[in-house]
Chain A
Amino acid sequence: MPLWLFIFLAALAIIGAAGVVLQRHPVHSLLSLVMTLVVIAVLFIGLGAATVGFLQMIVYAGAIMVLFLFVIWLLNLQSQPLEPGHLALKFLGSLGSAALIAELLLFVVHPPPAITQNRAVAMDFGSIGRLAQSLFTDYLIAFEATSVLLLVGVIGGVALARRTTAGGGGAPGGTP
């Protein structure tokens, strides 16, 4: 990827990110987030990681953002004047951001050896085949254990949000 293209895309991503915070209307914030995610997907593709790029676009910019949009509509959120906010919270927030920026600069000045070494990548780097191969060999257990984790999340959602019958708790399990 030529440098000018990278700078252009990076600038777009940052503008989108700033838009998420600065827009007053939740839907506008959401659209800014979509822009950032799409640009990052393009950056991934530019780095040769085509599969990750497309997954980013389909899953994050697509599915998850649509879900966000539904939540905003269901809750009927309107554009709200920004709360002035507590001074202490603002202070903590700025402190956190400052720490993250300082950390980032530190890593740019002192990059760890694992980053500075140029590593040869395989010809099929970033292809879906390579991804599948590492998913089903090195990360097989992690991949399968994640499915258990998701199942637990589903059980939790159902168990905690299930409607109770009058009296509470006495109903047989599984009644809608």
Chain B
Amino acid sequence: MTNTFSLAAITFDWRPIVPLLIVALGAIIVLLAGVKVDDRESEGLGWLSLLTIAIAFCTALAIPGNQQISFGGALVADGYTAFFYLTILFAAAIIVLMSLDYVAEEGLPGGEYYSLVLFATAGMMLMAAAGDLIIVFIGLETMSISVYILAGLARTSPRSNEASLKYFLLGAFSTGFLLYGIALIYGATGTIKLHALSTLATGVPAPMLLIGVGMLLIGFGFKIAAVPFHMWTPDVYEGAPTSITAFMAVGVKLAAFAAFVRVFLVHLLGVQTDWSMVLWVLAVLTMTTGNIVALMQTNLKRMLAYSAIAHAGYILVAMTAGTSIAGAAVLYYLLGYAFTNLGAFAVIIALSRRGHPHELISDLRGLGTREPALAAAMAIMLFSLTGIPPLAGFVGKFSVFSAALNQGYVALVVIAVVNSVVSAYYYLRPVVAMYTDEGGAEVVALSSRPALIAAIAIAVIATIAIGVYPQPYMNASTSAFASALSKPPLATTASLRP
């Protein structure tokens, strides 16, 4: 045996793995350090996590823009991987910032909390860098199981327990679909490597392949909360600790779309005619259900849950088009969506105090006079979610819709625009409440929560910057998606055994 074994077969490229290793190592260190830390004084663990994320962010900058295959095709180092590494790490950093005071105040177990946030981040990065379907699956599970636990960490709260159990049961069910889909694709083509799949899954596909792709679609549909796989979303978003809700709305979506877009828009283009119609229907259902049900919500977290469903629908509009312009539009949209949602959830955390979550829209009443800065931040986030120029949400929607229009999906874009108009009603309702009504919830002095202010400020600046001056971010999205589409260097392709 020894004579046939050679390390050269692995094709080492350390660059995509180093940020992952740092995050996982940091998670273990935080977990060990957490044993000695009181739950009411867990800020130190948060700073340690932030340091880990910062180091990983710096090493992620070294990932090359042109495509390199690493570890025999298991990981891909390209601009696409780098784009999602950086976005996911940035989002995780803001999550940690907004958790610093919140976790200590709520008395959540600090060691477990921060280490699981880091483990989930590692899982998300694994999904973004995945070069084969097994890695997609393991990354997805690492992320999902961490988030199931995080959702239930407030163990004395029945709502948190319900959220965790519901998310776990439905998540495990959906993972079954994903795994079965992967097995069927392997049965039909004999490979789970994405690069080999893109050459094998072409022409008239075998029924086994199509059923496998359909199962994969259901599995991803659950994670991005597309209708009709969205039933868990509102209860889980409402019940989980608010910082974790933000993590689910942003991090989980980023990672799920990273893998979803890479598998479908890059490697399953050969059978695009078979799945684009399904995505069309999913997009319409998702947008419409999300927006219409959001109209009736009185709880802010629930409203943002339905808004997150609707936004997944807008992204599916671009994915239906399936072009490289559409892929770039999805990446840009996700960037804007991430910062906007992080900001909105950070404001909800700012409203809360121990034992009083203050999550109702009526709690926002009169915020404009009592805390003008906080109210302005919330208003900017809601305007961006509505898609009002010049904020990130507007440019995102514009690029997503125009990508679909380019491919002639006129009806789809009309439905999307109508949906977008409907959504203005529920996004503007809290704004009206903030500036015209009186008598909402009292806010804890913001000056006692500097980290939270920093998180909100970063989110606001990013939302405005991405919207006002979109060109560099658009270019980054375009080149990231283009590098995912490019073929890997010939020398390494040859070593990819199907």
Which residues of A are at the interface with B, using a C-beta cutoff of 8 A? 103, 106-107, 110-115, 124, 129, 133, 137-142, 145-146, 148-149, 151-153, 155-156, 159-160, 164, 168-174
Contact = CB atoms under 8 A, between A and B. Distances in A.
Nearest to A138: B72
Contact of A113 (B139, B206, B211): B206
Given A112-B187, A138-B497, A170 B135 contact: no
Of B35, B39, B112, chain A has the most CB atoms within 10 Å of the CB of B112
B155 interface: yes
Interface string B145-170: 11011001111100000001000000
A149 B138 contact: yes
A145 B111 contact: no
B109 A112 contact: no
A160 B138 contact: no
B189 interface: yes
Contacts of B141: 149
Contact of B38 (A106, A111, A124, A172): A172
Interface of B: 1, 4-5, 9-10, 17, 24, 28, 31, 34-40, 71-75, 106-112, 115-116, 119, 122-123, 126, 132, 134-135, 138-139, 141-142, 145-146, 148-149, 152-156, 164, 187-190, 200, 206-209, 211, 497
B188 A139 contact: no
Contact of B134 (A112, A139, A172): A139
B189 A112 contact: yes
- Looking at chain A's contact residues, the main secondary structure is helix
Contacts of B497: 138
Nearest to A128: B1
A164 B110 CA distance: 15
A113 to B, nearest CB: 7
Nearest to A119: B190
B72 A145 contact: no
Contacts of B73: 138
B74 A140 contact: yes
Contacts of A124: 1
Q: Is the interface of B mostly helix, strand, loop or mixed?
A: helix
A113 B188 CA distance: 7
A145 B135 contact: yes
Nearest to B113: A159
Given A110-B207, A156-B148, A159-B153, A169 B119 contact: no
A133 B188 CA distance: 24
B346 to A, nearest CB: 23
Contacts of B153: 159-160
B108 A155 contact: no
A98 B478 CA distance: 45
Nearest to B129: A141
Contacts of A152: 116, 119, 142, 145-146, 149
A129 B115 CA distance: 36
Nearest to B190: A114
Nearest to A175: B35
B107 A169 contact: yes
Nearest to A133: B5
B145 A153 contact: yes
B9 A137 contact: yes
A148 B142 contact: yes
A102 to B, nearest CB: 11
B116 A164 contact: no
Contacts of B72: 137-138, 140
Contacts of A151: 28, 119
A160 B155 contact: yes
Contact of B4 (A110, A133, A170, A174): A133
Contact of A112 (B5, B31, B208): B208
B36 to A, nearest CB: 7
A6 to B, nearest CB: 20
B155 A168 contact: yes
Given A148-B24, A152-B146, A160-B152, A141 B39 contact: no
Contacts of A170: 39-40, 107
Nearest to A159: B112
Given A114-B189, A133-B5, A141-B17, A160 B207 contact: no
B35 A173 contact: yes
A149 B107 contact: no
B218 to A, nearest CB: 13
Nearest to B21: A144
Contacts of B75: 141
Nearest to B186: A114
B109 A159 contact: yes
A173 B189 contact: no
Contacts of A139: 74, 134
A157 B206 CA distance: 42
Contacts of B28: 151
A155 B126 contact: no
Contacts of B37: 172-173
Contact of A174 (B34, B142, B154): B34
A132 B109 CA distance: 39
A111 B122 CA distance: 38
A155 B31 contact: yes
